[in-house]
Structure 1
């Protein structure tokens, strides 16, 4: 589905449920960790030096190897050359489209762990405007801006600069977004998205958790017409709510 900048994004709601992160700096500079950086080698396909955006995680085969044609000589007119070079490096089969697996291999957290495949699939679904199951360069550009916006948000709430969000940091983040959630629910949320059993969540899982909260809240609000935090729904309405969430 297409990305709406007011969805999963940066628009403060007036009701108590809150909204996802506003696009602002929160008054302090971000720590040096790189979240969602492309896992590029020191040499890009075009032979240029390491891009300096993230640290290298793994290399990719050079252009034209394994019988594949080399990537196009240059970016489309008006394209950010650096973003284009990242796209070309990630597009390992030179198809002009990024699959979920290609994108996952290219994205790393601040601790160098790969992105959760579920988070990558969620992002591809959000930006796959033509419903091909892949993303082209224009869709990739929108997705990259989305990741960058979330990265700044994550760095704000990663108070200790650890590269992960613990229970207290998650509570602070959600309350800042306006979600009035209990300590018990925050604990459940951390347990759900703590993929490594450390009691915290990495950048990718933080994004997935917040997007899930936003999507479920939107579904709930369809029934909570008086905005009092309570709804009464029948069996089929409950099924519809769940099915729409998973669509």
Structure 2
């Protein structure tokens, strides 16, 4: 498997090789974090980078090889986030979050959207704001958590036998860390 369609394989390989400082042909979370800094974004939290790694790491080796890299996913999230960060503040508010998640394909009820905003919102002095904004780092975390939980829900309700998506998501998102990938 090569690079995704539309990605120049040499450009992608050059980026991959540049961050693969130990020439192992596999990159670590720390090396991926360096690659993600090449844009004009604030540094991503190492836990967010590890969450991204978990998506790409198909062989579960805690590193990713060239064929596991999916820059289009990260670029897509960056583009969506930028398009809704209309004031270029580096964060989006609840209305912008709803639109951004909808553009990605997540249509959440107002109740779930409020919970996501509170759970992943930016804190000020350790206290959540009444209507917290979401930074890019936290936006990535929210998207990954929603995607993973939605996938888990689909597996549980494969027969469409009455599971309530909204209730499932609310219950799992509201709980303290249940799984190391879910912040």
The answer to whether TM tops 0.5 is: yes
Q: Does 1:219 align with 2:152?
A: yes
Aligned residues: 157
CA distance in structure 1 between the aligned counterparts of 2:21 and 2:45, rounded to whole angstroms = 20
Name the stretch that deviates more: 110-119 or 86-95: 110-119
CA 1:93/1:228 → structure 2, altered by over 3 Å: closer, same or farther?
A: closer
Counterpart for residue 128 of structure 1 = 57
**Unmatched tracts of structure 2, length 5 or more:** 169-177
Question: So what's the TM-score if we normalise by structure 1?
Answer: 0.52
- Cα RMSD (Å) of the superposition? 3.3
Counterpart for residue 174 of structure 1 = 101
Higher RCO (CA-CA < 8 Å; seq separation 6+):
1
CA 1:196/1:90 → structure 2, altered by over 3 Å: closer, same or farther?
A: farther
Q: Does 1:191 align with 2:123?
A: no
Displacement of 1:87 in angstroms is: 1.4
Q: Does 1:207 align with 2:140?
A: yes
CA distance in structure 2 between the aligned counterparts of 1:111 and 1:196, rounded to whole angstroms = 22
Counterpart for residue 42 of structure 1 = none
Cα deviation digits, residues 183-219 of structure 1 (max 9, x gap): x543432332235537322223212202212222333
Q: Please identify the structure whose Cα radius of gyration is greater.
A: 1
Question: So what's the TM-score if we normalise by structure 2?
Answer: 0.67
Counterpart for residue 171 of structure 2 = none
Q: For residue 27 of structure 2, give the secondary structure of its aligned residue in structure 1.
A: coil
- Counting helix residues as a fraction of each chain, which structure ranks higher? 2
CA 1:109/1:185 → structure 2, altered by over 3 Å: closer, same or farther?
A: farther
**Unmatched tracts of structure 1, length 5 or more:** 6-78, 233-241
